Amino acid sequence: MSETTYHCDGRVAISVEPREMRMSHWLYAPKVVDQQRQQVLLDLSDSLWDLIATADETPDSIELMLRKYPGDRGSVMVSVGLDSGELRIGERRVDAGQLLAALDSTLN
């Protein structure tokens, strides 16, 4: 059963569909939707990237702390700009279509 939380004064919905990877090892891959524009800003729902937490939430942006399953490496922060739809890993701007590759490159 999917779980949805709302952020940025209700503008952003973050949905996760919990998947059990191994006994008692759950993965919460996120999908981020701008509720005002009904636009998907980020979709990692079919990936091995797990949402650990959200941070630095403002009315027009949010940061997601992600870790790739099985979690034996450090976490990565992804900033999501709501007005621009811009995704950033650190200072690096990332195209939504290249997000998985960019996330994976941070692990090397």
Is the torsion defined by CA of 91, 99, 70, 55 positive or negative? positive
Would the pTM count as exceeding 0.85? yes
For residue range 27-84, what is the model confidence (pLDDT) as tens digits? 999 999 999 999 999 999 999 999 999 999 999 999 999 999 998 899 999 999 999 9
Residue 1: predicted pLDDT: 78
